[in-house]
Amino acid sequence: MKIVLFGAGGFIGSHLVEHLAARAEHDIVAVDVSDDKLAGIPPTAYRFHRADIRSDRDLVDELIAEADLVVDLVAYANPSIYVEAPLEVVDLNFVANLDIVERCVRHRRRLIQYSSCEVYGKFSGREGDRVDEEADLVYGPVSKHRWIYASAKQLLERIIHAHGLAGQLEFTILRPFNFIGPRLDYLVPPGTRGGPRVFAHFMSALLSGGPLQLVDGGTARRSFLHIADATAAFQAVLDDPDGSRNAIFNVGNPDNDTSIRGLAEVMLDVYWELTGEEPTSELVTVAAEDFYGAGYDDDGRLPPDITRLSALGWKPQRDLRTTVRETMAYYLGEHAAGRLSVPALPVR
């Protein structure tokens, strides 16, 4: 089967390409504006196109026409961007992704779309509650631009679903819940505000001795999934085209639910365990408005109900501490080998 992956050079995409390349069962076509994160994968195992899905539309069309399966991962996925550049988020995450959907419809190609758990919005519940794929989607006010990302992802999902209903598209929508692992985002100088997702922030702080900044005290909760478990979930979908046809799946580990303060405490502890050195980083509280800007809002994210994906035979294997330890071991190893450093100046 020929699989074309858009956004293949990102965090999740690079792990999918690595996984598919190791299995050597399919022709893999990787498309991205950058291939930095694909560096360790044998170049003969896949074909790479450096292309922008917004401007290289003829190439995109050609690749979709040739493919048996299209996987779309392209998006701005860091909350700081939703607040700083909401229109760019709509342009990439909705308009450019819709173009891919429409080309899949035209060429009758199967699509696996990476959406987000963030589509659920401000869902809340009692201790032990889980969110399933039929839950209501509830967002904050328009002035809180954080929700533009979820709105774009939600509308894209609705259009994909409607094409499926009309018999024009075979699709699977995946809603990831906070995957972590090697190659997540990028490192930042101590005290940076905004920027990458939380694990990359805390890892940067530990490597530089800077503070671990807890937005609004770190009471928000997230369920973290090891990227290897996430890749296994993709494989489960691939292995069961009938069971995953025109369906939406949560992809996460409900047992790895923690507050962000809890994540910081585990990371401090694991740092000590892996390096033998007491971390010098402190936990500090920072107001959300100071960290992200006025358009930020947070959700009361519930852990995922994974009944649907479990029915395909998938089960997450790694608990929170193992997930954190394996990811931190990668960063510490790369840092010690001089292949990764905390920049002195802000980067994007």
Q: Which residues bind ligand NAD (CB under 6 A)?
A: 7, 9-13, 32-34, 52-54, 73-75, 77, 92, 114, 116-117, 176, 178-179
Find the binder of ligand UGA among 201, 226, 308, 325 (CB under 6 A).
201
215 counts as binding ligand UGA under rule CB under 6 A = yes
Is residue 220 near ligand UGA by the rule CB under 6 A?
yes
Residue from 76, 149, 271, 292 carrying the catalytic annotation: 149
Out of ligand UGA, ligand NAD, none, which partner does residue 194 contact, by CB within 5 to 8 A per kind?
A: none
218 binds ligand UGA (CB under 6 A): yes
CB of 288 to ligand NAD, least distance (A): 19
From CA 88, how far away is CA 5, in angstroms rounded?
21
Q: Would you say 204 and 210 are in contact if contact means Cβ atoms under 8 Å apart?
A: yes
Which of these, 135, 72, 89, 159, lies nearest to 299 by C-alpha position? 135
DSSP conformation class of 196: S
Cβ at position 79, least distance to ligand UGA in Å = 5
Cβ 198 to ligand UGA, closest distance in Å?
4
Helix/strand/coil for 274:
helix
| Nearest to ligand UGA of 169, 214 (CB atom) | 214
| Contact between residue 218 and residue 265 where contact means Cβ atoms under 8 Å apart | no
Report the C-alpha gap between 202 and 153 in whole angstroms.
Answer: 27
Q: Does 297 bind ligand UGA (CB under 6 A)?
A: no
Question: Counting contacts by CB under 6 A, is residue 222 touching ligand UGA?
Answer: yes
In the numeric block, the tokens 């539309």 are attached to: 57
* Phi and psi angles of residue 176, each rounded to the nearest 5 degrees, phi first: -70, 140
Q: How far apart are CA 234 and CA 239, in angstroms?
A: 9
Q: From 89, 202, 207, 106, select the one nearest 155 (Cα to Cα).
A: 89
Q: Please identify, using beta-carbon distances, which residue of 2 and 130 lies nearer to ligand UGA.
A: 130
Residue 15 contacts ligand UGA per CB under 6 A: no
- Of 177-196, which residues contact ligand UGA (CB under 6 A)? 177-178
Take residue 127 and report the two structure tokens written for it: 């201790």
Which lies closer to ligand UGA via its Cβ, residue 65 or residue 294?
294
The one of ligand NAD, ligand UGA, none whose footprint includes residue 298, by CB under 5 to 8 A per kind, is: ligand UGA
Is 82 marked active-site? no
Structure token digits, residue 185? 């985002």
Residue with tokens 């109900």: 305
Among 13, 86, 176, 210, indicate the residue that binds ligand UGA (CB under 6 A). Answer: 176
Q: Closest Cα to residue 257, out of 347, 183, 212, 323?
A: 323
269 in helix, strand or coil?
helix
Q: Can you give the binding site for ligand UGA, defined by CB under 6 A?
A: 77, 79, 116-118, 149, 176-178, 197-198, 201, 213-215, 218, 220, 222, 260, 298
Catalytic residues: 149
